[in-house]
Structure 1
């Protein structure tokens, strides 16, 4: 069984409060790393979502060739240019630089838009080995290497969220996709235990599972969320909440709910399909504010 994620449940586990007068550092720094020459926009989507979930500072780490235009597109961010392969993917040699930058952040989201096969897998493995400190959201291109990195993952136990869809989950567990579709909650529980991470098993009904097997489900979304870039925005929202000081479970529950509620509101305003992933983050500040208690005075 899984507990439904509702507004009432979230109000019983409130996000960290931020007082008037706090500077941007009080809400934490996020580093989003990923993308490639073909998919630079995935990092943009995740980064903007992290800021609109309340993070104070944003860094985007991408291939050198796409760094300048990304910096113009997201003027709120510091953009880090990484070494890249001839094919336009982040080179494995970028791992030490990413580890240095990531160790200074409160949260790191790795994988949106990231491709590169063996090179990308080597980058992820090298980063997980060298990184110290931040909470992690591992998404998309960062997921494939996890079965071979369980030793490195243990170094980060207690501060990891992974966000697979059913195809990525099948690859993580080495089982057919149909088996995941038949029992998504069981697959999520298996992955959470194996990788010692909070699992966000994305789907029409998203399951959130802890390494201890506790489970929640959220069916707040709609068919309109099944669109390009939607998963990138979810990864960014979770990372932004982690930067603010939320636990991995809090960040996953709040992020999944806010993502689904944003889709619900856009569907009511725009129609059930056709709204864009880039429109989701703009709904999030209002959703979070409606769920938050009044901030303390002083």
Structure 2
């Protein structure tokens, strides 16, 4: 019990909501751990704790027995010390096996005007892409017009809070004190939203999904930083944009990996790759993991 610390730097968050799982792997307490991911809650803590996070495609790991939040966006995923280990654990949970890698080029999402990256994140993303290009990876910048990551995140949160209120309506009525005040407030806010506003949120998710699938069809995957910022200190403001990039994987229902890509100020940095199918994305992530600079991946994790 108590607050979970980031193993890399006490006083800083390990991320959430599956922060305990990522912190346990990063601290060497276990080789792998499961987590749940509705807007990025496997990949966010993996990014902050410097481990691999793998969110398979929607439904690839059954959510039976998982406390639900959103039937539209909930996924089960894995934290591990390498991309290969994450794939093995996911396969043991029912995800398809690794297949031959997709040799098409990788798309690099043009983030100009989409999200504000912390300087350390922006510098690391640029240097990581340069390293991959020197190593022979084919990278192409991709601009997706009229993409609003903030609006997409807000739509996902609205859907999660409305669907969460439906999922837990009976428990909320029988034992409201079993929920934290913050969660009760969020679910109550969801319950107050109008059908029209909910319909707009669903429509936005559908439109963005169609647009991104069409734009990325020529590519083997889509690269972004995993998070716009590094882990932040307890007690300060929580960045509202921290799930802006990870939410893409949930909206698409597509497999996505967070891969350690470096460190700054004793805090990890991370690269996200969103793929097309689980088997091909596992192969892609394993190749990326082995290509990343040795300093980016702790020696104990290799």
Question: Which protein, 1 or 2, shows the higher relative CO under an 8 Å CA cutoff with sep ≥ 6?
Answer: 2
TM-score (norm 1): 0.30
TM-score (norm 2): 0.30
Name the one with the larger helix percent. Answer: 1
